[in-house]
C-alpha cells in the first residue's frame, strides 16, 4: 500500500555506517570501530539508555552535507517502503550546542527534500520537535528562531526526549506561543510516562495528536475520550518492545486500542535503532499479533487522515490509497 508515517525522528534514521563515516570525517571520538560494534550497542534497558546513544549519534552530524545525506538516506528508504507521505521530527536542540547553525541543518535537509519531491513525488511535512529535558525557555527560543526564517517549512511543533520527570505542564507557555503563531501541535506522552501525561498534553498543551500514548490504556475514561474525540495516537510497536514499554510484541496493546475505536497509526520512531522501518513494524504486528490486511489498511488510512497536510492534499493521497486498494482487493 502507499503509506503515511507520522512519527519518525530524523536523528533516529542515522545508519550505523553513516555514524562511523561522519565521526571519522569530523574527528569525533566514538566508542565504536565497526558497524557490528554499533549494532551491538542497540540493546536498551529503557528510553534513557537509548537516548544516550541517540545523542551520541547527533554529535557526528555537523555540516550541510551530513544533514543532506541523513535526510536523503531516510527519504530513499521511504521510496523503497512506499511511504508516500512522511511527517518528520527535526530537533535543532541536538545540534545548536555543537556550534551548528540552524541554517546549516535546514539547508541540508531542504536540499534532500527537494530532490525527493522532484525525483519521486515524495510528500514531506516537518515538525519542529523540542526537547523536554531542556528548559521550556530554551524551546521557546528555538521556536522563535525557527519561526523567524522557516515558518513556511515547519507545520507543527512536538515534544520529545525523557518523559519521566519532565511532565507536560512545564511546556504550556511553549505550546501557547506555537499555537498563537499558527502551528499545529503534537507531543510525546504515555510512552514511559503515565496516562495523566496524555490527558495533560491534551488539556494544558492543546495538542491535536499524541505520540505513543499506549499507556492511555491504564485509564478507561481516557480511552473513551480518545475514541470520542477522534484523537490520533502515533504508535511505534518495534520501538515500544526495544525500549521495554512492552516485554514482547505479543503483549502490545495496539489492536486493543484499535478495537476500542481509538484512531491509532503505525510508525517507526527511530527505525535504524529499533530494528526496522515502517513495513517492518507492520510485518511484526502481522507475525506476533496476527494483524489482518483489513486492520493494516485501517491503521494506514488513519495515518493519512490524521496527517497535518492541507485538506486537499490529504484527499488526493487518500484517493491514491483507495485506487490502490481497488486494484489490490483484500482477499
Which positions are annotated as active-site residues? 191
Residues in contact with ligand ADE, total (CB under 6 A)?
11
DSSP type of residue 92: G
Strand partners, 188: 211
Residue 133's Cβ-count burial label (10 Å; 0-12, 13-18, 19+) is: middle
Residue from 93, 216, 269, 271 binding Zn ion (CB under 5 A): 269
Give yes or no for residue 5 binding Zn ion (CB under 5 A). no
In whole angstroms, what separates CA 212 from the centre of its chain?
9
Give residues 1-20 in contact with ligand ADE (rule: CB under 6 A): 9, 12
Least distance (Å) between residue 191 CB and Zn ion: 7
Q: Report, in Å, the least distance between residue 244 CB and ligand ADE.
A: 12
What is the nearest approach in angstroms of ligand ADE to the Cβ of residue 133? 9
Residue 47: contacted member of ligand ADE, Zn ion, none (CB under 5 to 8 Å, by partner type):
ligand ADE
Shortest Cβ distance from residue 246 to ligand ADE (Å)? 13
Write down the least CB distance from residue 60 to ligand ADE, Å. Answer: 17
Question: Applying CB under 6 A, does 83 fall inside the site for ligand ADE?
Answer: no
- Does residue 161 interact with ligand ADE by CB under 6 A? yes
**What is the three-class DSSP state of 215?**
helix
H helix intervals, 121-166? 136-150
Q: Which of 87, 136, 191, 200 binds ligand ADE (CB under 6 A)?
A: 191
Contact 239, 276 (CB under 8 A): no
CB of 188 to Zn ion, least distance (A): 6
Alpha-carbon separation of residue 283 from 36, 262, 265, 271, 280 (angstroms): 24, 21, 14, 14, 5
163 binds Zn ion (CB under 5 A): no
Q: Residues 269, 281, 306, 317: which binds ligand ADE (CB under 6 A)?
A: 269
- Alpha carbon distances (Å) from 290 to 42, 246, 254, 278: 27, 17, 12, 17
Per-residue x/- marks for ligand ADE, 21-60, CB under 6 A?
--------------------------x------x------
Stretch of 34-42, 147-155, 248-256, 263-271 lying at the interface with Zn ion (CB under 5 A): 263-271
DSSP state of 301: H
82 Cβ neighbours under 8 A, 6+ residues apart: 1, 2, 3
Cβ burial of 297 (10 Å; 0-12, 13-18, 19+) is: middle
- Tell whether residue 92 is a contact of ligand ADE (CB under 6 A): no
- Kind and range of the H or E element at 84? strand 83-90
Residues of this chain that interact with Zn ion (CB under 5 A) are 269
Residues of this chain that interact with ligand ADE (CB under 6 A) are 9, 12, 47, 54, 160-161, 188, 191, 239, 269-270
Amino acid at each position: 500500500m502507499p503509506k503515511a508515517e507520522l512519527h519518525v525522528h530524523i536523528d533516529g534514521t542515522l545508519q550505523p555506517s553513516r555514524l562511523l563515516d561522519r565521526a571519522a570525517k569530523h574527528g569525533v571520538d566514538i566508542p565504536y570501530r565497526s558497524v557490528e560494534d554499533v549494532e551491538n550497542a542497540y540493546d536498551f534497558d529503557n528510553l534513557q539508555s537509548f537516548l544516550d546513544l541517540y545523542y551520541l549519534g547527533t554529535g557526528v552530524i555537523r555540516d550541510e552535507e551530513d544533514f543532506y545525506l541523513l535526510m536523503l538516506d531516510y527519504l530513499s528508504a521511504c521510496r523503497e517502503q512506499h511511504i508516500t507521505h512522511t511527517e518528520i521530527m527535526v530537533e535543532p536542540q541536538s545540534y545548536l550546542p555543537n556550534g551548528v547553525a540552524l541554517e546549516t541543518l535546514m539547508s541540508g535537509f531542504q536540499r534532500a527534500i527537494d530532490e525527493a519531491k522532484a525525483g519521486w513525488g515524495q510528500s514531506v511535512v516537518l515538525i519542529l520537535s523540542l526537547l523536554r529535558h531542556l528548559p521550556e525557555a530554551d524551546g521557546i527560543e528555538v521556536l522563535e528562531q525557527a519561526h523567524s526564517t522557516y515558518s513556511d517549512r515547519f507545520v507543527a511543533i512536538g515534544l520529545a526526549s525523557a518523559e519521566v520527570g519532565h511532565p507536560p505542564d512545564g511546556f504550556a507557555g511553549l505550546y501557547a506561543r506555537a499555537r498563537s503563531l499558527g502551528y499545529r501541535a503534537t507531543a510525546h506522552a504515555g510512552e514511559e510516562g503515565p496516562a495523566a501525561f496524555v490527558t495533560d498534553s491534551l488539556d494544558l498543551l492543546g495538542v491535536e495528536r499524541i505520540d505513543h500514548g499506549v499507556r492511555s490504556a491504564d485509564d478507561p475514561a481516557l480511552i473513551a475520550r480518545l475514541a470520542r474525540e477522534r484523537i490520533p495516537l502515533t504508535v511505534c510497536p518495534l520501538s515500544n518492545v526495544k525500549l521495554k514499554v512492552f516485554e514482547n510484541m505479543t503483549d502490545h496493546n495496539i489492536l486493543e486500542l484499535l478495537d476500542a475505536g481509538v484512531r491509532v497509526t503505525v510508525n517507526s520512531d527511530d527505525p535504524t535503532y529499533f530494528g526496522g522501518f515502517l513495513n517492518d513494524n507492520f510485518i511484526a504486528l502481522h507475525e506476533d499479533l496476527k494483524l489482518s490486511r483489513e486492520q493494516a489498511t485501517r491503521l494506514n488510512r488513519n495515518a493519512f487522515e490524521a496527517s497535518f497536510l492541507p485538506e486537499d492534499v490529504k484527499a488526493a493521497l487518500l484517493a491514491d490509497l483507495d485506487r490502490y486498494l481497488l486494484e489490490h482487493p483484500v482477499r
